Structures are given as C-alpha cells and as structure tokens.
Amino acid sequence: MIRLPFWDMTVRNSQVFYVCLNQEAFSAPEHLKGRSLYLQGNLADILKELRTQLEKEK
C-alpha cells in the first residue's frame, strides 16, 4: 500500500499533518487520529466548497 510509508513518516515527525483524499470512504488509522484529515469526494468539488466557505467568512 502506498499509504503505509506516509503514515510511518507522519508518526515519526511531529511537525507533519497527513491529509488524504479518496473517492470512497476511508478512515484514519488510530495512531494518526488528531494528526490527519480524510476527505471524501472529488478534488474540484471539495475546493469549490472550501472557496464558498472561505468567502462566507469574509
């Protein structure tokens, strides 16, 4: 799995925050809880929603 080396690097470096984007639902491993963000969906849709939210906060 491609994720495993990145999970290991995240655990070893306290300055790292892991972000993952998948089309399907996926959960963070227990050892990354609080130091990771899992997003589900299409990148373009997620960025559009983020932009909308940021514009509302202005």
Asked whether residue 1 carries a pLDDT value surpassing 80, the answer given is no
Cα distance between residue 24 and residue 53, in whole Å: 23
The pLDDT-based confidence of 9 (bands split at 50, 70, 90) is very high
- Span 14-40, pLDDT tens digits: 999 999 888 888 877 888 989 999 889
Instruction: Give me the mean pLDDT over the 37-49 stretch.
Output: 92
- Sequence-separated (6 or more) residues with CB below 8 Å from residue 25: 40
Cα distance between residue 21 and residue 53, in whole Å: 19
Q: Is the pTM of this model over 0.75?
A: no
Instruction: Give me the mean pLDDT over the 49-55 stretch.
Output: 94
Tell me, what's the pLDDT at 56? Answer: 94
Cα distance between residue 17 and residue 10, in whole Å: 7
Tell me, what's the pLDDT at 29? Answer: 85
